[in-house]
Amino acid sequence: MSFSLFLILFHFVAPIQALLNPKSSNISAIYVFGDSTVDPGNNNYINTIFRSNFQPYGRDFPNQVPTGRFSNGRIPTDFIASYLGIKEFVPPYLDKSLSMEDLMTGVSFASAGTGYDPFTAQLSHVIEMPTQLEYFREYRTKLVNAIGTNRTDDHIHNSVAVISCGTNDFIVNYFALPIRQKTYDVASYRQFLLRNFRQLIQGLWDLGIRKFVVGGLPPMGCLPEVITSRHEFIRRECVTTYSLAAREFNQNLQDELVAMQNIFKLHRGLIVYADIYGPLTDLIQNPQKYGFEETSRGCCGSGLLEASFACGPNSLVCSDASKYVFWDAIHPSERAYYFVSTSFHGIINLFIKH
């Protein structure tokens, strides 16, 4: 082998070898699947109007860059990746400029507007969950081509997958339109969503992932857009029907994860539930404890209905988003996401020790 060729191989292989052995934890990478709560900008690269790659989104992100995150700054998976010591920001998989280092340490396949129900994604022309799974299959092939099958298997086995989805299935789909209601009542629709969730987990397991964090639904009835759509303009009270649907789904999801874990532990796998409902409810009900002042409307525009293109460059924006639990009428602010994410540290430590 010529000396120049050796140097080329060294400069390519050495950084990858370092990435296979992260210093801060035994977690090699983070892979993300789901909706706008964890989409860092994949929708920038598809033909949909459901985007946020424009101001005022990203106003408090480094360099004030509107990346496509539905927030004024970071989103939960950025905080999780940072806590794990993997990277500060999880990039979107569809960004073709990503380096091998970016790919190795993890990416997000999530798409704002999607759901466990394929019809939910079709409504917004975004990426269905089965397609996110196919993107991960494609991603795995890229790793195999770069480092070989055995190293890829080890790398993915030592990774963690974060899944956050389901809110759009109820808010954008089931409660908003009559189509699914003709076939399902709320209870049977929950089971339909859970069947699709199980298929996603099985697909990721077959591709080598052994560690999963699965987020539950938020208190959907307390989202400003939901409150407004139910004509609660004055009282601004949470809509109990929506929040009840979230609690019931979360309980079914937890039961499902317990059953899965009983099987996973036989194969050194781990799957845990991340409670979003409780922490976000606490922020809304006890804002003074966290330094918040506004809990029933977002910082962007009127804060009652705006999200995505409705929260744009010409929208009025509050002066200090850190005082608001919500950034727009659907999505929490960066500071609210931070508090929700810190509540996950206990379960994340399980993966570090596992």
Residue 229 falls in the annotated catalytic set: no
Least Cα distance to 65 among 47, 31, 32, 40 occurs for 40
107, two tokens:
């990416």
**Predicted local distance difference test score (pLDDT) of residue 351:** 85
Residue 37, pLDDT above cutoff 70: yes
Size (the chain), residues = 354
Domains of the chain: 27-277+334-353 (3.40.50.1110)
Helix axes 334-342, 277-285, angle to 10 degrees: 130
Residue 352, pLDDT above cutoff 70: yes
Q: For residues 160-170, give the mean pLDDT.
A: 98
**Three-state SS sequence of the chain:** CCHHHHHHHHHHHHHHHHHCCCCCCCCCCEEEEECCCCCCCHHHHCCCCCCCCCCCCCCCCHHHCCCCCCCCCCCHHHHHHHHHCCCCCCCECCCCCCCHHHHHHCCECCCCCCCCCHHHHHHHCCCCHHHHHHHHHHHHHHHHHHHCHHHHHHHHHCCEEEEECCHHHHHHHHCCCCCHHHCCCHHHHHHHHHHHHHHHHHHHHHCCCCEEEEECCCCHHHCHHHHHHCCCCCCCCCCHHHHHHHHHHHHHHHHHHHHHHHHHHHHCCEEEEECCHHHHHHHHHCHHHHCCCEEEEECECCCCCCCHHHCCCCCCECCCHHHEEECCCCCECHHHHHHHHHCCHHHHHHHHHC
Residue 328 falls in the annotated catalytic set: yes
Residue 10, pLDDT above cutoff 90: no
The pLDDT-based confidence of 154 (bands split at 50, 70, 90) is: very high
- Residue 289 amino acid letter: K
Residue 6, pLDDT above cutoff 90: no
Write out pLDDT tens, residues 190-246. 999 999 999 999 999 999 999 999 999 999 999 999 999 887 667 789 999 999 999
Do 307 and 328 meet the contact criterion of CB atoms below 8 Å apart? yes
Least Cα distance to 320 among 305, 335, 304 occurs for 335
Residue 20, pLDDT above cutoff 80: no
Catalytic residue among 71, 117, 331, 341: 331
| Cis upstream peptide for 56 (omega within 30°) | yes
Which whole-number Å values give the CA distances from 58 to 99, 112, 221, 300, 338, in the listed order?
Answer: 23, 15, 26, 12, 15
Catalytic residue among 36, 124, 159, 333: 36
Q: For residues 261-271, give the mean pLDDT.
A: 91
Please state, for a pLDDT cut of 70, what percent of the chain lies above it: 92
Residue 350, pLDDT above cutoff 90: no
The pLDDT-based confidence of 267 (bands split at 50, 70, 90) is: confident
**Predicted local distance difference test score (pLDDT) of residue 232:** 65
Separation between Cα atoms, residue 306 and residue 225, nearest integer Å: 8
Write out pLDDT tens, residues 285-327. 999 999 999 999 999 999 999 999 999 999 999 999 999 999 9
Catalytic residue among 243, 328, 333, 341: 328
Write out pLDDT tens, residues 75-119. 999 999 999 999 999 999 999 999 999 999 999 999 999 999 999
**Predicted local distance difference test score (pLDDT) of residue 231:** 73
Residues 6+ apart with CB under 8 A from 349: none
Residue 36 falls in the annotated catalytic set: yes
**Predicted local distance difference test score (pLDDT) of residue 354:** 74
**Predicted local distance difference test score (pLDDT) of residue 279:** 98
The pLDDT-based confidence of 262 (bands split at 50, 70, 90) is: very high
The pLDDT-based confidence of 24 (bands split at 50, 70, 90) is: low
Buried (b) or exposed (e) across 21-47, using 16+ Cβ within 10 A? ebeebebbbbbbbbbbbbbbbbbbbee
Q: For residues 11-22, give the mean pLDDT.
A: 39
Least Cα distance to 72 among 307, 243, 348 occurs for 307
Mean pLDDT, the chain, whole residue set: 92
105, two tokens:
């340490």
Question: Taking the CB of residue 207, how many other CB atoms lie within 10 A of it?
Answer: 17
**Least confident among 10-14, 88-92, 174-178, 269-273:** 10-14
